[in-house]
Structure 1
Amino acid sequence: MKKLLTLLLIFCLGKSFAQDQIPAQNGNISIQPILHGTLVVSYQDLTIYVDPYGGAKGFEGQKPADLVLITDIHGDHHNQETLDGLDLSQATIIAPQAVSEKLPAGKYKSVVVLGNDSSTDFSSAKITAIPMYNLPETADSRHPKGRGNGYVVELGGKKLYFSGDTEDIPEMRGLTGIDAAFVCMNLPYTMDVEQAASAVAEFQPKMVYPYHYRGTEGLSDVEKFKSLVNASAPGVEVRLRNWYPGN
């Protein structure tokens, strides 16, 4: 019995330690990586799910979402199976128009459509949609400009940036005042490690999380990303976390 209690305590502590903390006004912002480009952000009484993907089981132990941010139509961002497995009856969905058209009616508290460069307030947060797209801009692009959204979320006096599926675009390089950036780097869908590191060195968030780094060649070299950022922008804290449990 004592051994079982000890194991349970270790498990619970491990779950707790898996959450990152970002100091903010009147409490911390908690960051919980889930899978790939999916995470949970918690601040005071507000719980945000970003691009829920990988099945509802990955969200066991998390508070129900008050707000869900969806960046694009692809299945690792708008994953209807995962959404259907979660209780989102009291959640507001924020999504681009192309995603909102695919969402079933009546399953969510509300759906707010945001286009690039538009914003909305929700509870203690302000959410701004920014462009995410591939370069060069072509008619057959996987991610054409204007279809999907990256997001800047302001809460607790901090600004969090979620890149979604983007390449090394001017709108990302032009960001200012970002406290925590979640930046993708998986070929051939987004950008490579060098592009991501170069962009981060320019807009200089206080900290950066490489996420969404599984591509056709497996997992990107995030250690290399960290070394490049450390060399070119030593003031930026690089946080490497496990976005792919089991790998």
Structure 2
Amino acid sequence: MKYILLSILIFDLALTAVHGQVDTISTENGAISIQPILHGTLVLTWNNQTIYVDPYGGGEKFEGLEPPTLILITDIHGDHLNQKTLDEINTGRATFIVPQAVMKKLPQSMQKRTMAIENGQTVVFQEMEILAMPMYNLPESSDSRHTKGRGNGYVLTIGGKRIYISGDTEDIPEMRSLKGIDVAFVCMNLPYTMDVDQAASAVIEFKPSIVYPYHYRGKGGLSDVESFKNQVDAAGIPIEVRLRDWYSN
């Protein structure tokens, strides 16, 4: 056991040196490492599984990381489905879980290893449960940047912990009605998703134990995540807001 814990510590220190801060949370069956990469991109590792979420930014962003065993993609836009990045990383052992709209855009070689799931559908991969959540703009319209049903947010259940990945969404009721979320990654970039105030209000309502503001670069630059943290902290609810650097070079 000491050797295993030491190995995890050495691995996390190595990642920190290359990529910045790595967080670890305990589960009923091993620890989950959380590695911010860029914008809406993150890497989760757990029990020999390496999950890339919306790999973007080029292959160099993933140097030093284990190749993915699972790739989750939320939407068709280039900061989520980025074929250049997919071509530059080693996806040889990866299964893809994506919305149908994304699957249609993947090359045939990747489609063969892809499961397309719709909002509300749940699949199990290597003891991890993956629920596809709605993510969309309000008011709903056929010409919105993110139409309901096209993309997926995700709720992952890993070792008894529930992790919510918002994808590109506004302040939708499906997010506010979430229960029992241990870790949440919540977007806040105008004009594409929601603003800081909406994101803080939603988080205060669904009460994740830990929340990471991510995907916070918009047309006006980077959103004020300190304001987000201050609003959540002021609510007096036991929610830990973790501010991490998603945009360093």
The TM tier, using the shorter chain, reads over 0.9
CA-CA distance at 1:109 after TM superposition: 6.1
Structure 2: stretches of 5+ with no match in the other structure: 1-12
Report what 2:241 is aligned to.
Answer: 238
Residues 32-72 of structure 1 show CA distances to partners (whole Å, capped at 9, x for unaligned) of 00000000000111110000000010000110100000000
Q: Distance in 1 between matches of 2:170 and 2:108?
A: 32
CA-CA distance at 1:13 after TM superposition: 5.8
1:44–1:108 distance in 2 versus 1, CA, 3 Å: farther
Report what 1:168 is aligned to.
Answer: 171
- Normalising by structure 2, what TM-score? 0.92
Q: Is the 8 A contact 2:15 2:64 kept in 1?
A: no
Q: Distance in 2 between matches of 1:35 and 1:123?
A: 26
Secondary structure of the corresponding residue to residue 148 of structure 1: coil
CA-CA distance at 1:26 after TM superposition: 2.7
1:190–1:12 distance in 2 versus 1, CA, 3 Å: closer
Percent identity over paired residues: 61
Secondary structure of the corresponding residue to residue 132 of structure 1: coil
Q: Specify which of 57, 62, 66 is matched with residue 59 of structure 1.
A: 62
216-225 or 107-116: bigger deviation: 107-116
Query: Is 1:70–2:73 an aligned residue pair?
Result: yes
Q: What amino acid maps onto 2:43 in structure 1?
A: V
Q: Is the 8 A contact 1:21 1:31 kept in 2?
A: yes
Q: Is the 8 A contact 1:151 1:161 kept in 2?
A: yes
Secondary structure of the corresponding residue to residue 141 of structure 1: coil
Query: Is 1:101–2:118 an aligned residue pair?
Result: no
Query: Is 1:23–2:23 an aligned residue pair?
Result: no
1:11–1:172 distance in 2 versus 1, CA, 3 Å: closer
CA-CA distance at 1:143 after TM superposition: 0.2
CA-CA distance at 1:220 after TM superposition: 0.2
Q: Distance in 2 between matches of 1:64 and 1:138?
A: 38
Q: Distance in 2 between matches of 1:210 and 1:228?
A: 13
Report what 1:224 is aligned to.
Answer: 227
1:233–1:47 distance in 2 versus 1, CA, 3 Å: farther
Q: What amino acid maps onto 2:78 in structure 1?
A: G
Q: Is the 8 A contact 1:119 1:127 kept in 2?
A: yes
Report what 2:131 is aligned to.
Answer: 128
Q: What amino acid maps onto 1:23 in structure 2?
A: S
Q: Distance in 2 between matches of 1:23 and 1:85?
A: 31
**Aligned residues, how many?**
237
CA RMSD after TM alignment: 1.5
227-236 or 36-45: bigger deviation: 227-236
Structure 1: stretches of 5+ with no match in the other structure: 1-9
Report what 1:188 is aligned to.
Answer: 191
Q: Distance in 2 between matches of 1:146 and 1:56?
A: 29
Q: Distance in 1 between matches of 2:19 and 2:141?
A: 45
Report what 2:9 is aligned to.
Answer: none
Residues 85-112 of structure 1 show CA distances to partners (whole Å, capped at 9, x for unaligned) of 1111211000000000000012466100
Residues 227-247 of structure 1 show CA distances to partners (whole Å, capped at 9, x for unaligned) of 00001253000000010013x
